[in-house]
Amino acid sequence: VAQDKKFRIGFSQATTIEPWRAQFNKDIIAEAAKHPDVELIITDGEDRTEKQVADVENLIRQEVDALLVSPKESAGLTGVVQQAIDAKIPVFVLDRNVETDQYTQFVGGDNKLIGRAAGEYAVELLGGKGKAQGNIVEIWGGMGTQPAHDRHDGFHEFTDKEPGIKNLLDKQSGDWKQDQAYNIMATALRNNEKIDLVYGHNDPMAYGAYLAAKDAGREKEIKFIGIDALPNEGVTWVSNGELTATFLYATPGAEGLRQAVKFLKGEKVEKTVTLDTLKVTEENAAQIMKDNGL
Ligand code: FRU
């Protein structure tokens, strides 16, 4: 280790096969490059809890100065996060939580709030408060993750108040993946003559559902709502008229690293840092793409 690298920070990422996580890693690497005193060690859980648990154990053994972790699932990662805490390593939990609050800090978006914003918009798209009519397909993210539950709960705070809204599926998870969402939607299309709106817990799943509807020649009858708003994904799909809306779920890469460095330099940090969201529709999609050089 070079002498000038004062802080060794380990980051355990859940997977890199999902585009949002690839962006997340880019963001944390770019931020680390701004801190010459930081050595960043990134591991890839390859979308498997056992692999990610082994990664964190490894980072603990390497005695990193701080551990950043974005868990594949809450329950499965809780034990090893607790081990890090017990070993007196400051732990920063990013995006998906664990089942302890003894960590140093949590950094991420407010999924309940995003779910509410999506639910409120769905009601508006289906005719407005008290008058909304329509059949909804909801495609869940990973069942073992808090974001999926919060995105569900927030959404239903609005849609469940509408007697004219019907939920066609009961807890069908696409595990955040486009191809799994495609299959769920293909089945839903076969079983239901009328589908008015799809709520995907992330953009890849909303887009997978859109592709299934397109292959069935029914995409024009349906509104698609997603979450993430990566400029080259969700925002582009909105701009193309494929998705109706997406809600920004900023990656906590840059902020997470900044907070860890702040803490390691002896400053106080908040228990929770919440990242802002933004509704993206055809009104602002093109501008966002332009701002991102697309
Ligand atoms: C990527 C992802 C995002 C989603 C987030 C939720 O792995 O599925 O698409 O917004 O995780 O934790």
Q: What is the pLDDT of residues 21-47, one digit of tens each?
A: 999 999 999 999 999 999 999 999 999
CB 228 near ligand 1, within 6 Å: yes
Which pair of tokens denotes residue 159? 């849609």
Q: Please work out whether the CB of residue 177 comes within 6 Å of at least one atom of ligand 1.
A: no
Instruction: Please give the structure tokens belonging to residue 181.
Output: 């969402």
Q: Give the C-alpha separation, 1 to 4, whole Å.
A: 8
State the distance from the centre of ligand 1 to the C-alpha of 140, rounded, in angstroms: 11
Residue 256: what residue type? G
Question: Is the CB of 47 within 6 Å of ligand 1?
Answer: no
Cα 120 from Cα 67, distance rounded (Å):
37
Residues 209-267 pLDDT 10s:
999 999 999 999 999 999 999 999 999 999 999 999 999 999 999 999 999 999 999 99
Cα distance between residue 89 and residue 67, in whole Å: 7
| Euclidean distance between CA atoms 179 and 202, whole angstroms | 13
> 221, exposed or middle or buried, with CB in 10 Å at 0-12, 13-18, 19+?
exposed
CB 245 within 8 A of CB 231: no
Predicted structure pTM score: 0.96
Which of the listed residues 72, 106, 176, 237 should we mutate to test ligand 1's pocket, taking the one with most ligand atoms within 8 A of CB? 176
Is the pLDDT score of 2 beyond 90?
no
Q: Is the pLDDT of residue 3 over 80?
A: no
